[in-house]
Structure 1
Amino acid sequence: MNRNIEQLKDIINNSSRITFFTGAGVSVASGVPDFRSMGGLFDEISKEGYSPEYLLSTNYLQDDPEGFVDFYHKRLLLADKQPNTIHHWIAQLEKDHQSLGVITQNIDGLHSDAGSLNVDELHGTLNQFYCVDCFNEYSKTYVMEHHLRHCESCGSIIRPDIVLYGEMLNQNTIFNAINKIETADTLIVLGSSLVVQPAAGLISNFKGQNLIIINRDATPYDHNADLVINEDMVSVISTLNHES
């Protein structure tokens, strides 16, 4: 792994427009379960008696609004999860003006919690909530502290600002993400299997010099990468920071 770390270090030191693309693997070290891995959130949600796709869909929100609120309060509000080494490393490179920011498939909001400012959350974020009728906005902290279920202005239910099954991705977010990728000199993929579309397909817009993929398992884009590291991400970044 040391040779890979040295190559990664050299690429980062010689890059000024790094873009990060992160998936569920980045947040596993923070205790956030990977959605589809064995024993992950998918399996946990399946215990509710309905498919996870249904419980996370606009259909469920419309069919049983109160049930939907019960579900996300039980399964999605992660009060005790904190950013890990990877989140902080990404945020620091942005502060150091080496990074254009991060594109993430994650909805946990941990990149923002770590201090990243330029974050494109492809599937939305659990850090923000809004009323389904009057669109009054609430923070996750406020929702959890007040056990809030209904809008304080109009009484309708509030929902997390995430992309449910049956909804389109935010087009402005997609545009910003593509711009980040197209203007990057280095693209670093962390903790993503790069199989969930259309998010993973954004990688094909990269025109820069160095594509780096750090993931536990192989991805469909490994053959296009200049550096592939199939190791534990926290160990990789911790070693990199120690040697920097």
Structure 2
Amino acid sequence: MSQQIKQLKQIVDSANKITFFTGAGISVASGIPDFRSVGGLNEKIAENGYSPEYMLSSDYLNADPEGFMRFCYQYLLFADKAPNVVHQWIAQLEKEGRALGVVTQNIDGLHSDAGSENVDELHGTLNRFYCINCNAQYTKSYVLTHQLHHCEHCAGTIRPDIVLYGEMLNQATTLNALHKITASDTLIVLGSSLVVQPAAGLISNFNRGQLIIINQDPTPYDYQADLVIHDDMTHVINALNAVE
């Protein structure tokens, strides 16, 4: 492990255009359950007799807007979760001008909360809500504080700005993410299994520089990486920060 940390530091210190690609694993340390692991969010939803795919679909939103918002409050909106050391490390490297930014599969908004500015949220974010009738905009904190279920302006349906099952990824966001990945000299994957498509397929477009994968479990791209660390990423980053 110590040798891997030294190698990681050498790569990061010599990089000038780092792009971070993050998945659910980075947020687990902040107390946010991931969707697909054993004991994860999908399993908890299914235990209550629901289909996770349907409850997170545009079909359910359209069929029962009130039920959809109740579901969001119960399973998705975490008011007490904060960025962890990994989010902060990423934001600091961007602030120093060493990173191009973040491409994330997460919807929790913690990268922005940590201070990252160049964030491509492939699946949208829970930090923003909007009315599907009049397009009035709301922040997550405002929705939570006022326990909003309907638009204050027109009483229409409000929803989080996330990509639901049955909806397409935002094309501009995807293109921005692709540009980051192809322009970077180092790509660091953190907490992603790299199996969810089409997001994970973006990794295939990185064909120069150093590929680093830090994840608890193996991924389909491990064999292509210059450095693979199978460990808790908070341990890895804390160890990295401790290296002189």
Q: Give TM class, smaller chain.
A: over 0.9
Aligned twin of 1:54: 54
Cα distance between partner residues in 2 of 1:66 and 1:33: 24
Cα distance between partner residues in 2 of 1:52 and 1:236: 32
In structure 1, list runs of 5 or more residues that go unmatched: none
Q: Deviations over 1:152-188 (max 9, x none)?
A: 1110111000000000000000000000000000000
8 Å CA contact retained: 1:129, 1:158: yes
Aligned pairs for 1:83-98 (under 5 A) are 83-98=83-98
User: Which amino acid is the alignment partner of residue 217 of structure 1?
Assistant: D
Cα distance between partner residues in 2 of 1:162 and 1:202: 19
> What is the Cα-based RMSD across aligned positions, in Å?
0.7
Cα distance between partner residues in 2 of 1:142 and 1:48: 28
Q: Deviations over 1:44-66 (max 9, x none)?
A: 11133220000000110111111
What is the deviation of 1:124? 0.3
1:164 counterpart = 2:164: yes
Aligned twin of 1:24: 24
- TM-score w.r.t. the length of structure 2 is 0.99
Moved more, 22-31 or 69-78: 69-78
Aligned pairs for 1:165-184 (under 5 A) are 165-184=165-184
Aligned twin of 1:108: 108
Aligned pairs for 1:150-161 (under 5 A) are 150-161=150-161
DSSP-derived class of the 1:72 partner: helix
DSSP-derived class of the 2:70 partner: helix
What is the deviation of 1:208? 2.3
DSSP-derived class of the 1:202 partner: helix
Cα distance between partner residues in 2 of 1:179 and 1:212: 18
In structure 2, list runs of 5 or more residues that go unmatched: none
Moved over 2 A (4+): none
Q: Deviations over 1:1-57 (max 9, x none)?
A: 011000000000100000000000000000000111111111111133220000000
What is the deviation of 1:102? 0.4
Residues paired across the two proteins, number: 244
Q: Percent identity?
A: 66
Aligned twin of 1:117: 117
Q: Deviations over 1:136-164 (max 9, x none)?
A: 10000000000011111110111000000
Cα distance between partner residues in 2 of 1:115 and 1:75: 25
User: Which amino acid is the alignment partner of residue 45 of structure 1?
Assistant: I
8 Å CA contact retained: 1:183, 1:208: no
